[in-house]
């Protein structure tokens, strides 16, 4: 398997309110391989979003070395954030196509692909509506569809389901998992929910509070589809939670 992202000794400092420097990340080492569903798990403030922003090339202000696989183009990165960040003056369909329009790339073939994605995420009925008319769950579907529309090599997601009710989150997790399997994309996703990390992740990078470190990377060997009420699942939840220092 090819390594898409290779991080060595990544550190990042911020200044606090008093102007003092503190480490948000300390010597993080990790590799994301092609086909991984890589979860970054840890409590609030441990540095997950900071690390995701660096991994995805949104933040280049860090020390250490980060290498992308040769030929990997940042244009092939898709993003889904907790805040939906849709453009209110564009319809659902236009929001989904925005990355393609920006690249001047909206061929007839691509338009058909966008229609397919709209269909597979159950957005046909709202394709011509504006974001403000949609529920949170539908907005997040649009966010996922928009990331998929550019035919990404990697999708980076930052707590995409944490603002949603548990029923909608459950459905969207399942849909994301299906997309990952069918389209064979690589996913890096931030969460503070251990069950979510174990249900979705093929690997889980565990971060503890305020240390800015990846304590351990666990390869998730639970068989797919993950049986969320099995003894094995509960055992893994306990194991992971015992590793997280709050």
Ligand X SMILES: Nc1ncnc2c1ncn2[C@@H]1O[C@H](COP(=O)(O)OP(=O)(O)OP(=O)(O)O)[C@@H](O)[C@H]1O
Contact residues for ligand X (CB under 6 A)? 14, 24, 42, 44-50, 192
Please, what is the minimum distance in Å from the beta carbon of residue 50 to Mg ion? Answer: 8
Nearest CB to ligand X, comparing residues 24 and 118:
24
Given ligand X, Mg ion, none, residue 186, with its beta carbon under 5 to 8 Å by kind, binds none
Nearest CB to ligand X, comparing residues 199 and 208:
208
Nearest CB to ligand X, comparing residues 16 and 182:
16
Euclidean distance between CA atoms 183 and 152, whole angstroms: 10
The answer for residues whose C-beta is within 8 angstroms of residue 233's C-beta and 6 or more apart is 195, 198, 222, 226, 227
Helix (H) / strand (E) element for 219: namely: strand 214-219
Given ligand X, Mg ion, none, residue 234, with its beta carbon under 5 to 8 Å by kind, binds none
Please, what is the minimum distance in Å from the beta carbon of residue 43 to ligand X? Answer: 7
Q: Binding marks (x or -) toward Mg ion, 38..57, rule CB under 5 A? A: -----------x--------
Nearest CB to ligand X, comparing residues 46 and 55:
46
What is residue 57's three-state secondary structure? coil
Q: How far apart are the first and last CA of the chain?
A: 34
Please, what is the minimum distance in Å from the beta carbon of residue 106 to ligand X? Answer: 34
Given Mg ion, ligand X, none, residue 50, with its beta carbon under 5 to 8 Å by kind, binds ligand X
Euclidean distance between CA atoms 52 and 183, whole angstroms: 22
Chain mean position to CA 58: 14
Peptide bond into 225 cis (omega under 30): yes
Q: Are 232 and 208 in contact (CB under 8 A)?
A: no
Strand-pair partners of 38: 188, 203
Selection from 87, 90, 145, 91 nearest residue 114 by Cα? 145
Nearest CB to ligand X, comparing residues 46 and 134:
46
Given Mg ion, ligand X, none, residue 14, with its beta carbon under 5 to 8 Å by kind, binds ligand X
Given ligand X, Mg ion, none, residue 47, with its beta carbon under 5 to 8 Å by kind, binds ligand X
The contact set with Mg ion (CB under 5 A) reads 49
């Amino acid at each position: 398997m090819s390594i898409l992202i290779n991080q060595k000794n990544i550190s990042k400092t911020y200044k606090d309110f008093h102007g003092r420097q503190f480490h948000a990340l300390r010597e993080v080492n990790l590799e994301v391989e092609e086909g991984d569903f890589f979860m970054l798990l840890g409590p609030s403030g441990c540095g997950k979003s900071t690390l995701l922003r660096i991994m995805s090339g949104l933040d280049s202000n860090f020390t250490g070395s980060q290498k992308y696989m040769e030929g990997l183009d940042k244009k092939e990165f898709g993003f889904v954030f907790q805040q939906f960040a849709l453009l209110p003056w564009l319809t659902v369909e236009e929001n989904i196509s925005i990355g393609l329009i920006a690249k001047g790339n909206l061929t007839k073939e691509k338009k058909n692909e966008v229609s397919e994605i709209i269909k597979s995420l159950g957005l046909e009925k709202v394709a011509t509506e504006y974001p403000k008319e949609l529920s949170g769950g539908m907005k997040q579907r649009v966010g996922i569809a928009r990331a998929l529309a550019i035919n990404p090599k990697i999708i980076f997601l930052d707590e995409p389901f944490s603002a949603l009710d548990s029923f909608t989150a459950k459905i969207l997790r399942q849909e994301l998992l299906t997309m990952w399997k069918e389209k064979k994309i690589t996913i890096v996703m931030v969460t503070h929910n251990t069950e979510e990390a174990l249900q979705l992740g093929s690997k889980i990078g565990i971060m503890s509070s305020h240390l800015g470190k990846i304590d351990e990377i666990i390869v998730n060997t639970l068989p797919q589809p993950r049986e969320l009420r099995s003894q094995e699942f509960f055992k893994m939840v306990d194991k992971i939670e015992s590793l997280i220092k709050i």
